[in-house]
Amino acid sequence: MNAFMLGEWIQSLSLTSLLVVGMLIIAGLFLGKSMKYVRMPAIIGFMIIGVIAGPSVLKFLDEESLSRLSFITHIALGFVAMSIGFELKLTTLKRHGRSIILIILMESFLAFFVVAAAVYVLTRNLPIALIYGAIAPASDPAGTVAVIQEYRAKGSLTSALYTVVGFDDGLGIFIFGFAASAARIIMLRETTGIHQSMWALVLTPLREIGLSVLIGGFLSIFFILLVKKAQDSRDLFILIFALVLVTTGVSMRLNISIILTNMMLGIVAVNMQPPGVIQKIRSVLIETMPLVFVLFFILAGASLNIAALPAIGLLGAVYILGRASGLIGGAWLGAALGKAERKLRRYLGMGILCQAGVAIGLALVVKNEFSGMTPGGVNMGSTLITSVTATSIFFNIIGPIFTRIGLVKSGEIQPHTIS
């Protein structure tokens, strides 16, 4: 029985999406554990199961099923962002000092400029170059956090990775807002002669970041008040789960960043609660996150369109090389300027390569906003979606692997967790 016949047989059983997901979680769990034998993170196994089960191979989960289950991905991102927030104490930021700020600025802006310049040299199209450059800084913290938690990594590099993958998303959205607005203004001016107000260039990113911070901060105060009522870890888990749902739902409703809002929820809480309460919350998250990661990366794998890989072309190759060199080079430059310790200079850039949902989401924003504007916008949107999806497959595979290599070489993964 070949793969196609097997897929048809499974579909003929009228299995529900949830039943299929349950079966995939079991398969993902065991394949994830087996990844240690080839010295790869467990999330690679989860993604392999997702790819096999998704529309690209066996079609156990089709596009309609994935659309129905997309809420799981949003919830998972909310948990990941909140867990990052709970690692960002102000005392930690003060300990890193200006070096962490310089790292975030340098890796984000260098990725933007390197990709934008390379794409412009290739295409001679400034709006397209700006858009590709604007998407480059966007990271996917889930891959980095999953590797850190799987191997129980601890140390200054681990702490810095939590901070960078948390805050560079905010800066990435800010860069994207400005660059997308500039590209829109240039395209309108070239095709229609319409001169749009420069206020749009400033207000769009400021609105998203400002609302994310305000709403996350407000809900964190609500969270702090409710935590006092939680009697045990079971009550605390229910409370955390409910708050992630509320925060994620509000973010989606207002079309603001799920990651920034949930991260802000964690940041305010961790800096205002006594250490004992924070330890209880972290214990709940440690028990919860493995299931979150299995679900998130199985669905992420299923969503990847493997057929898009051949379409990557020269533009995709330029984007991959430009983004990787910009992030790694920018992290090294920021760490060097900030006089950070040697292992941050050498290995931090290796831990921030993951890119998936946020980048694809930004590409969808471009497609929706630009397609109805000019004929060139339709073509740009379609090309962008294809190439960003294809390059995300690449970064989703190498990102966790490079994160693990960096943490091993820095000595922050204990030997007993590797074997």
Q: Which CATH number is 246's domain given? A: 1.20.1530.20
| pLDDT score recorded for residue 13 | 44
The pLDDT mean for the chain works out to: 78
Q: How confident is the model at residue 120 (pLDDT cuts 50, 70, 90)?
A: very high
In the chain, the amino acid numbered 398 is: I
Please tell me which residue, 325 or 225, carries the higher pLDDT value.
325
For the ranges 23-32, 76-85, 102-111, the maximum mean pLDDT occurs at: 102-111
* Total number of domains constituting the chain: 1
- 26-41 burial string, b = 16+ CB within 10 Å, else e? ebbbebbeebbeeebb
Structure tokens at 133: 């450059």
Closest CA to 136 of 381, 319, 313: 319
Please tell me which residue, 48 or 102, carries the higher pLDDT value.
102
At 147-172, the pLDDT tens digits run 888 888 888 888 888 888 877 776 77
DSSP code of residue 35: G
In the chain, the amino acid numbered 287 is: E
Q: How far is CA 391 from CA 52, 122, 359, in A?
A: 19, 17, 10
The torsion angles phi and psi of 153, rounded to 5 degrees, stand at -65, 140
Are 151 and 407 spatial neighbours (Cβ–Cβ below 8 Å)?
yes
Round to whole Å and give the CA distance between 75 and 241. Answer: 9
| pLDDT score recorded for residue 118 | 93
Closest CA to 396 of 307, 303, 318, 328: 303
Round to whole Å and give the CA distance between 140 and 175. Answer: 16
DSSP code of residue 307: G
Q: How confident is the model at residue 12 (pLDDT cuts 50, 70, 90)?
A: very low
Structure tokens at 376: 């060139």
419 part of a folded domain: no
Task: Please check the confidence at residue 329 and state whether its pLDDT lies above 90.
Answer: yes
pTM of the model: 0.68
Round to whole Å and give the CA distance between 243 and 16. Answer: 28
Task: Please check the confidence at residue 199 and state whether its pLDDT lies above 50.
Answer: yes
Domain that holds residue 282: 3-414
Closest CA to 348 of 361, 330, 367, 362: 330
Round to whole Å and give the CA distance between 106 and 9. Answer: 52
Task: Please check the confidence at residue 377 and state whether its pLDDT lies above 60.
Answer: no
| pLDDT score recorded for residue 39 | 67
Task: Please check the confidence at residue 106 and state whether its pLDDT lies above 50.
Answer: yes
CA 132 distance to own-chain centroid: 17
What is the average pLDDT across 350-363?
74
| pLDDT score recorded for residue 370 | 64
Round to whole Å and give the CA distance between 186 and 179. Answer: 11
In the chain, the amino acid numbered 240 is: I
% of the chain with per-residue pLDDT over 70? 78
Would the CA dihedral through 375, 381, 384, 390 be positive or negative? negative
| pLDDT score recorded for residue 34 | 85
Task: Please check the confidence at residue 196 and state whether its pLDDT lies above 50.
Answer: yes
| pLDDT score recorded for residue 204 | 62
